[in-house]
Amino acid sequence: MGMAMKIIITGTPGTGKTTISRELGKIMGAKAIEVNKLIKSKKLFSKIQNGEMIADFGKLKKELARLLRSNNTIILESHLLSDFKLPADLAVVLRCNPIELKKRLSRRNYPAKKINENVLSEALDYCHINALEIYGERKVLQVAATKRITPKAIMARIAAFKKTRKSPTIRWLPKMGARELLKLGA
Ligand code: ADP
Ligand code: MG
């Protein structure tokens, strides 16, 4: 019936997870959980390092598995979700061109080191490679989010993926020229 499913949305910080999850949750009539907020509100962290909460993965996994069990349709969203397995039906990995990502993260006033780490992660397909390892090809859908994508369009991608189990392949580095690559390090 309809779109009953448990979805995790992951991707490098700045790819649009929170924005897209909220919009998608609205049109699916599903809860959209911003995992980073949950870590704070339920104190699922082990320590605070340089002002950032370091998640307690044991506690976090338990809480997220509980949420997935108790909701037929739910969206969980965080870059952390490509690091461990949850009982989800589908993992959506949002992708953003690294040069555009660098602009988005600069607007957030992240320190240079954090911007560079995240831009490099995106350029090297870090979240997608991890998600594939954890969930396998049949459960991982990549979605290009460099340009605005509507929740309706994402719903359509999900529906098509459920039928074909074929995701588009998004790899940034092979498409980038030397000039663009240099921009990443600048
Ligand atoms: P994440 O939760 O993955 O860190 P956000 O949802 O916070 O990402 O979005 C990061 C920034 O990029 C926000 O300023 C948001 O307005 C913007 N943004 C999100 N998705 C898009 C998009 N598809 N196109 C352009 N800008 C976007
Ligand atoms: Mg977010």
Q: Which ligand is nearest to the CA of 37?
A: 2
> Tell me, what's the pLDDT at 183?
86
> Tell me, what's the pLDDT at 50?
86
Q: Ligand 1: which residue has its CA nearest to atom 5?
A: 16
> Tell me, what's the pLDDT at 138?
97
End-to-end CA distance of the chain: give it in Å, rounded: 50
Cα(129) to ligand 1 centroid in Å equals 21
β-strand 90-95 against 6-10: which pairing, if any?
parallel
Question: CA 117 to CA 114: how far, in whole Å?
Answer: 5
pLDDT tens figures, 53-106:
999 999 999 999 999 999 999 999 999 999 999 999 999 999 999 999 999 999
145 lines ligand 1 (CB under 6 A): yes
9 lines ligand 1 (CB under 6 A): no
Residue of 97, 102, 104 to mutate, ligand 1, most atoms within 8 A of C-beta: 104
pLDDT band at 3 (very low <50, low <70, confident <90, very high): low
95 lines ligand 1 (CB under 6 A): no
Reading the block at residue 15, the tokens are 């790819």
Q: Ligand 1: which residue has its CA nearest to atom 22?
A: 148
> Tell me, what's the pLDDT at 184?
85
To the question of pTM greater than 0.85 for the whole model, the response is yes
pLDDT tens figures, 35-60:
999 999 999 999 999 888 999 999 99
pLDDT tens figures, 124-171:
999 999 999 999 999 999 999 999 999 999 999 999 999 999 999 999
Interacting residues of 161 by C-beta distance below 8 A, sequence separation 6+: 90, 141, 167
C-alpha separations of 68 from 45, 46, 61, 65, 164 in Å: 20, 23, 10, 5, 24
